């Protein structure tokens, strides 16, 4: 699933709900004016936790942490955006696959 979240202020916001079936989550900063801070399973706090500094910076999380709700904060309040990619159960990887005939 591809999605995005645009921040509406300077408070921590839930950017994606918890999902017990999620295998991985990738979050990319699309904000040009400010960093984004992330919290997995907890409120995001300015200048703490995972910091995506520049546009294009991303983090990929797998396992139990990826299943938690994710919160983010863009501390300048300029309406920054993050891109979100998640997969459940099947992950596609380029290459050749052969099936039994």
Q: What is the pLDDT of residue 95?
A: 58
Go through the domains of the chain in sequence order and give each one's CATH number: 2-88 (2.60.120.770)
pLDDT one digit per residue (tens) for the chain, 101 residues: 678 888 988 899 999 999 998 888 999 999 878 899 999 999 999 999 899 998 899 999 999 999 999 999 998 888 888 988 887 755 555 655 555 54
**Which pLDDT belongs to residue 29?**
92
* pTM exceeds 0.85 for this model: no
Q: Three-class SS string for the chain?
A: CEEEEECCCCCCEEEECCCCCEEEEEEEECCCCCCEEEEECCCCCCCCCEEECCCCCEEEEEHHHHHCCEEEECCCCCCCEEEEEEEECCCCCCCCCCCCC
pLDDT for 25 equals 92
């Amino acid at each position: 699933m591809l999605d995005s979240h645009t921040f509406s202020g300077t408070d921590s916001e839930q950017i994606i709900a918890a999902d017990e079936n999620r295998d991985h989550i990738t979050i990319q900063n699309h904000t040009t004016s400010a960093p984004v801070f992330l919290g997995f399973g907890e409120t995001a706090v300015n200048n703490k936790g995972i910091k995506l500094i520049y546009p294009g910076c991303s983090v990929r999380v797998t396992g139990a942490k990826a299943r938690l709700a994710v919160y983010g904060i863009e501390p300048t309040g300029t309406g920054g955006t993050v891109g979100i990619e998640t997969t459940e159960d099947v992950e596609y990887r380029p290459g050749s696959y052969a099936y039994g005939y």
